[in-house]
Structure 1
Amino acid sequence: MTRINLKLLLTVFTLITCIGWVNAQSFSITEDTVRIDEVVVTGTPVKVTRNNVPMAVSVVDRNQIEESNESALLPVLNGRVPGLFVTERGITGFGVAAGSAGQISIRGIGGNPTTGVLMLIDGHPQFMGIMGHPLPDSYVASDVERVEVIRGPASILYGSNAMGGVINIITRKQTANGTHGNARLSYGSYNTQKYMGSMGYKKDKFSVFASLNHDQTDGHRDHSDFKITNGYVKLGYDLNPHFSASSDVSIAAFKASDPGPDTLNASAGESIDILRGYWAFTLLNEFEKASGAVKVFYNFGEHDITDGFHSKDHNYGVNLYESFHLLDGNTLTTGFDFMNYGGMAENKKAMNGNGIVFADTTLSEIGAYAFTQQKLWKKLTINAGIRFQHHSQYGDIWIPSAGFAYHFNSNTTWKGTVSKGYRSPTMRELFMWGPNPKLNPETIWNYETGLLTKLGKKVQAELTFFVVEGDNMIVNVGPPNGYLNTGKVSNKGLELAVNAEPLKNLGIQATYSYINIDQPVYATPEHHFFLNASYQISKLHLSASIQQISNLDNNPSPVAVNEESYTLVNAKAKYRLSKNLHLFLSGENLLGTSYEVNRYYTMPKATVFAGLNLKF
């Protein structure tokens, strides 16, 4: 494994900081052509630019999502967000249980399954109540306006599972008056079919947005077929100038098969039948000196696997927060949240067909936090906060965080933060296979500093250096002890992101991440490089990307390490037949690279897709 000297990294970072400062002094203030001050929501409805957020934040917007040609959301993030990696196992579909994919890693934190990165939908948590991890097939691109990724602990705002970072999915809503719709269909390799339709309506204070998706494929290997149908509806109503309400519901039903490892004499795995859904209600308030929200959510699911496993789970709760602007340059946010999660898990075929119940219980967490942001001398913004969390099983934990953002001028910002992240033990770890009801939460400390600079009006660059330390990670050490707080983590590295518009119709995005880890961590490449370019020629839009992965540990087994390196090239052409109708043709893995993101699950070689997109 490549080693980078810490002093050398700090020297390079200092040099780049100096260069960025010189550039900031040299360039005049001009209108942005590259988006540098994307609006992000960091736990409150107060709109904050990236320059004032001490944490490293990436935003993937609607244009990037549409350009990707993906119906599933998570593959869109691979490469576009430095330091983040998502595993895959086939042409489409992640699956669950043995042979599944969709594991998420940010800076080497995430876990197998993913319990160290928190998925959110409009700020409320998304994970399976029993296992404690999200179901990646549930998130579809058509329902998403943008994705905000906090690369590093955000437990101060979001509580458990936000230890390694947060992926906050901001859903779409109808903003333009009248009726608007969109339909897309595509067909490609291995009889892969994707259908999507969405429609929105807005009149005065009322709005509605709805979408329906269906994907299916035969898969590139025997017994790798996949089928999913998603439905989504969002209602909104502006009660008056100060209050607005919204409610949304989502249902996803999918079936998937595990083709099993691609080895000699290996047999296919199990098939699954899953129903996932959620409902949420949000009431926002907006005043001159205060703004906040009340959010109520309910997530649920039922899983059936052909080996006899069956489960029903839930995750429901409420989030309340309010931000106050009582002093000049100050914002004080206070919040409270409650969450109850759990369910029942059994195997109907165990005990000679009599069945066995592994667990049937629930856990609850109550949290309260305060977070303040203060501007000083027009150039410096400081942030600090603390959270108190009570868990029904292990008790109490305190989570502090502090950071700063210093603006050399409007073009260049230097940021830094120190934060603690935590992850509560799941119901599976506490009460099921290899259980230990005395487990403590995992905790890490994250130290990071970064530079965000705009070089003229054509280039935006961000460089972040981080160190992550933890020594009480939950590890299954095997019988008779099962799960124990014995694991350690020591990760350090850097992340680089560049957006450029060298020509009027040419856009370029590049990211690079390096992670130095003492021991290889599943789903975490040592080097990850991504380059995407798009060009508009009259009615023709062309885009291409290259992604290079080095030293990826693709073996989910904690006792066997296998490192994979590969390069992928993708391309897409879109032609505008009319104002509302587009045709597209795309190709993935055009070099025909042989590779495995999951050990022994060979990925497809070159694949081709064609389709049309209609807007009205």
Structure 2
Amino acid sequence: MALERRYRWMNRLTLVSLILGTVFSWKSLQAQDSDSLSMALDQVVVTGTRAARAASEVSSSITIIDKEQLAQSTHVNVLPSLVRHVPGLLLNDRSTLGYGVGPGSGGNISIRGISGSPNNRILVLIDGQPQYMGIFSHPIADSFHSTDIERVEVIRGASSVLYGSNAMGGAINFITAKTDRQGWSGKVDAAAGSFGTHSLSGKVGYQTKNWESVLSLNRSKTDGYRKDASDGFENTAIFYKLSHQIDSNLKVSGDFQLSDASYEHPGTLEAPLLDDKRTYFRGRAALGLTNEGEKVSGATLFFHNFGDHRFTSGFESSDFNQGIAAYQNLKLIPGQTITLGIDFNRFGGEASNESIPPPVAVGLNESQEVHQTEVYMQWQQTLWEKLHLNTGVREVYNSQFGRTTVPGFGLSFEMDSQHVFKLSSSKAFRSPSVVDLFLFPPSNIELQPESMWNHELAFLRRSPDGLWDMELVVYYAKGDNLIQLDAAQAPPRNRNTGTFKNKGLEAQISFRQDAFPGFIFSYNFADVSENVLFAPEHYLKLQMDAQVGRFQVMPFAQQVFGLNTSLNSETESVDYTLLNVQLNYQMMENLRAHVQANNLLDSEYQLENGYPMPGINLSAGINFQF
């Protein structure tokens, strides 16, 4: 068995070597003007500071996925488009379409081996507003569509000083779409593929001098690939955004999104389910006022998220998550920015399962909710145009556990135009969710927040000719007070007993396409202190992009070593190799055809024990822009 595994590793490494060799020998290809595969040290970010700054000035480790990079992807859901760009980002997807809801149906997001089950330690934001289910406190992965998103900024590491609860392993901020130009614009995408999979999406925008609106529609469906059980999925969604520029300093905008989805939960290979259909209706609405002045800038944001879930098994739930976020950036002294903010969040809901009789019946007969009020301050100072310092603190008051304080600090030093050194140390936390406090027999109203300290050092370099960028990060994260089931109690009960120590390394290099086909290669090493899911020991990713006339070839390879698929310590970790290839053909100026081939090596692998991933699968489609 050991010899067989060794040969398998050698074959996989040989494949990666061949791909890399192709990159550096394919000099006759036509160069592409785009630099979309570059990390670009001078790109402007807003997620790491609440104020627009160059990425080189921010002490956090941030990955930026811009509009052009998103447009290259053929995915209906935006999350798969991020994997190739973000070191250490692993998604627990189980189908050609759709992630489902909760830990039993996929959608888990892991960064640096930090996740949770359900996924409640990676915070997802839309325009800086938290997006998670009011009862289970995890995001609904199927709610994030590519047509609705203009740009994505990912903070790798603790982000609670600016964004509060759940941002322990990082934060993913989806910045909503806007129009490209005055007048009408839009696009239509259609695709079909293996397992009865098909999708249709469209977006239309209109812009005048002071008004801007975007409308998008998405419809996707798959019959599923499991032969032993039903695992179909379908989703219909609508998004609308309206913005008005009141004057040169003030802008008001509002948007809403609705998603109506259903999926069939297949169960594990050992215990397949033939009739476990789950439906959910999710929605969100937001209203924001932003001000942009020379000395003062910021925003006031109102948001309301809601959902309704119905399972064949008898489980039903309704939830909400609503709040206000307000902040202002003060630039009163040259080189200095002080950010002051206040967040109010109210989340909760009700749930029941009438198929389970007392005394173990599951239910919240009346809606339960948690209130949380937070104030924060961040101070940023630039010295000698090279040294950028920041420190911040967030003070939290929660209706269940009381108060907690979250500090953080960091620096970024631009040694010259090609070299940047970063250092940061920050605390993060996760408030107990409604399911932790009130739902299911193990609930415990005395729970305290989970906490974590994250420390990291980063070095970034750009080549003198600007053709390539490199990033190297070492990190150490220590978590305490994790909420875990204490089986020693009778009956078992949730308690703050868990701890972890994660340490590791991230490395990424990106190459522009001026001389060779462009590529991004990343490697993540994670040494986790205990048996956790979605935390591979070694994780390698290679994304290439080559242009030959009207053809664009985009292979993407992943290599995973040492992935735990079960919390059972007796279950062996798994290794696997994935190779996907996307081929685009520009038929006309505004019309593009594409073919997507996934898992071309037909690897047999599982991300969670008992749930096999699909083998070779194909899709083809067209994209029309106007």
State the TM-score, normalizing by the size of structure 2.
0.90
Instruction: Please say if residues 175 and 207 of structure 1, whose CA atoms lie closer than 8 Å, have aligned partners that are also in contact.
Output: no
Instruction: Please say if residues 88 and 94 of structure 1, whose CA atoms lie closer than 8 Å, have aligned partners that are also in contact.
Output: yes
Cα offset, 1:151, TM superposition = 0.5
Would you say 1:341 and 2:347 are equivalent positions?
yes
Deviations 1:32-74 (A, max 9, x none): 8943322211266521111011010111222222323111122
Residues in 1 aligned to 2:533 and 2:35: alpha-carbon distance in whole angstroms: 39
Amino acid at match of 2:538: H
Instruction: Please say if residues 107 and 524 of structure 1, whose CA atoms lie closer than 8 Å, have aligned partners that are also in contact.
Output: yes
Residue 561 and residue 76 in structure 1: after superposition, are their counterparts in 2 closer, same or farther (change >3 A)? farther
Match of residue 467, structure 1, among 473, 476, 484:
476
Would you say 1:55 and 2:60 are equivalent positions?
yes
Deviations 1:357-396 (A, max 9, x none): 3352110100001101101122211100111000000000
The residue matched to 1:428 in structure 2 has which SS? helix
Residue aligning to 2:608:
598
Residue aligning to 2:18:
none
Residue aligning to 2:622:
612
Residues in 2 aligned to 1:268 and 1:520: alpha-carbon distance in whole angstroms: 31
List aligned pairs for 1:47-446, cutoff 5 A: 47-97=52-102, 99-221=104-226, 222-263=229-270, 266-268=272-274, 270-351=276-357, 357-358=363-364, 360-433=367-440, 434-446=442-454
Amino acid at match of 2:312: T
Instruction: Please say if residues 230 and 273 of structure 2, whose CA atoms lie closer than 8 Å, have aligned partners that are also in contact.
Output: no
Residue aligning to 2:493:
482
Cα offset, 1:77, TM superposition = 2.0
The residue matched to 1:577 in structure 2 has which SS? strand
Deviations 1:382-429 (A, max 9, x none): 100111000000000000000000111111110000100100111101
State the TM-score, normalizing by the size of structure 1.
0.92
Residue 37 and residue 501 in structure 1: after superposition, are their counterparts in 2 closer, same or farther (change >3 A)? same
Residues in 2 aligned to 1:64 and 1:341: alpha-carbon distance in whole angstroms: 34
Residue aligning to 1:453:
461
Residue aligning to 1:7:
none
Which has the higher mean CA deviation after the structures are superposed, 33-42 or 117-126?
33-42
Residues in 2 aligned to 1:612 and 1:271: alpha-carbon distance in whole angstroms: 31
Residues in 1 aligned to 2:525 and 2:484: alpha-carbon distance in whole angstroms: 25
Residue 103 and residue 406 in structure 1: after superposition, are their counterparts in 2 closer, same or farther (change >3 A)? same
Residues in 2 aligned to 1:502 and 1:534: alpha-carbon distance in whole angstroms: 8
Residues in 2 aligned to 1:270 and 1:445: alpha-carbon distance in whole angstroms: 40
Residue 567 and residue 489 in structure 1: after superposition, are their counterparts in 2 closer, same or farther (change >3 A)? same
The residue matched to 1:95 in structure 2 has which SS? coil
Instruction: Please say if residues 102 and 118 of structure 2, whose CA atoms lie closer than 8 Å, have aligned partners that are also in contact.
Output: no
Residues in 2 aligned to 1:107 and 1:467: alpha-carbon distance in whole angstroms: 10
Cα offset, 1:505, TM superposition = 6.7
Instruction: Please say if residues 163 and 422 of structure 1, whose CA atoms lie closer than 8 Å, have aligned partners that are also in contact.
Output: yes
Cα offset, 1:351, TM superposition = 3.0
Gapped regions of structure 2 (runs ≥ 5): 1-33
Deviations 1:316-357 (A, max 9, x none): 0000000011111100000001000001111133339x9863
Instruction: Please say if residues 160 and 166 of structure 2, whose CA atoms lie closer than 8 Å, have aligned partners that are also in contact.
Output: yes
Deviations 1:426-448 (A, max 9, x none): 11011112011111100011110
Amino acid at match of 2:395: F
Residues in 2 aligned to 1:303 and 1:533: alpha-carbon distance in whole angstroms: 40
Gapped regions of structure 1 (runs ≥ 5): 1-30
Cα offset, 1:248, TM superposition = 0.4
Residues in 1 aligned to 2:225 and 2:543: alpha-carbon distance in whole angstroms: 26
Would you say 1:519 and 2:539 are equivalent positions?
no
Identical aligned pairs, as a percentage? Answer: 35
Residue 82 and residue 32 in structure 1: after superposition, are their counterparts in 2 closer, same or farther (change >3 A)? closer
Residues in 2 aligned to 1:554 and 1:213: alpha-carbon distance in whole angstroms: 32
Match of residue 589, structure 2, among 575, 579, 583:
579
Residues in 2 aligned to 1:531 and 1:409: alpha-carbon distance in whole angstroms: 29
Instruction: Please say if residues 300 and 327 of structure 2, whose CA atoms lie closer than 8 Å, have aligned partners that are also in contact.
Output: yes
Instruction: Please say if residues 98 and 269 of structure 1, whose CA atoms lie closer than 8 Å, have aligned partners that are also in contact.
Output: no
Residues in 1 aligned to 2:127 and 2:321: alpha-carbon distance in whole angstroms: 16
The residue matched to 1:498 in structure 2 has which SS? strand
Residue 268 and residue 37 in structure 1: after superposition, are their counterparts in 2 closer, same or farther (change >3 A)? farther
Instruction: Please say if residues 453 and 461 of structure 1, whose CA atoms lie closer than 8 Å, have aligned partners that are also in contact.
Output: yes
Residue aligning to 1:566:
576
Amino acid at match of 2:477: V
The residue matched to 1:326 in structure 2 has which SS? coil
Q: Give the superposed CA RMSD.
A: 1.9
Residue aligning to 1:542:
553
Instruction: Please say if residues 363 and 393 of structure 1, whose CA atoms lie closer than 8 Å, have aligned partners that are also in contact.
Output: yes
Residue aligning to 1:9:
none
Residue 270 and residue 392 in structure 1: after superposition, are their counterparts in 2 closer, same or farther (change >3 A)? same
The residue matched to 1:437 in structure 2 has which SS? coil
